Homo-oligomer: A and B are copies of this chain.
Amino acid sequence: MKLITRDTDYALRAICSIAKSKNKIVPVSELVKELKIPRPFLRKILQLLSKKKIFRSYKGSGGGFTLAVPVNKIYLLDLIKIFQGPIKLNECFLKRKTCPNTKRCALKKKINKIEKYMFKELRPVTVASLLAKDKEG
């Protein structure tokens, strides 16, 4: 029951790394060195972030990636959605039929409550906020 999968995690690190190199175009090779992530896997992740307009990409010699969005506008939930799909704790197993007894629905209510809390906590989290907390603690 992972909240964050490896590609989301790698994406986060890559974004942070690129954010540090203000305005410089960063090629994959540089990120590989810094983050020690398998190159082809990282490439796949960066390409997707490019397609999703979080990165801007530059082809050709001297090319690479820059941020297309400032870190305070990159939301964790969006990254999770990109790599893992929308968060749903509560997939019902009985799509076809109606719930046979409401016991499960009592449980469902609980789970929904937890899910709501999760969203409340995660919604405001941006890459900027993660980097900021860095300095505090």
Chain A positions within 8 Å of B, measured between CB atoms, are 1-4, 6, 9, 12-13, 16, 35, 76, 84, 87-91, 93, 100-107, 109-111, 113-114, 117-118, 121-122, 125, 129-131, 133-134, 137
24 sample A-B contacts, Cβ–Cβ < 8 Å, listed by A number: A1-B1, A1-B2, A1-B88, A1-B89, A2-B89, A2-B91, A3-B89, A3-B90, A4-B111, A13-B103, A13-B104, A16-B101, A16-B103, A102-B134, A103-B131, A104-B130, A106-B129, A106-B133, A106-B137, A107-B125, A109-B133, A110-B122, A113-B121, A117-B117
In Å, the complex CA distance between A131 and B35 comes to 50
Copies of this chain, whole number: 2
In Å, the complex CA distance between A87 and B89 comes to 13
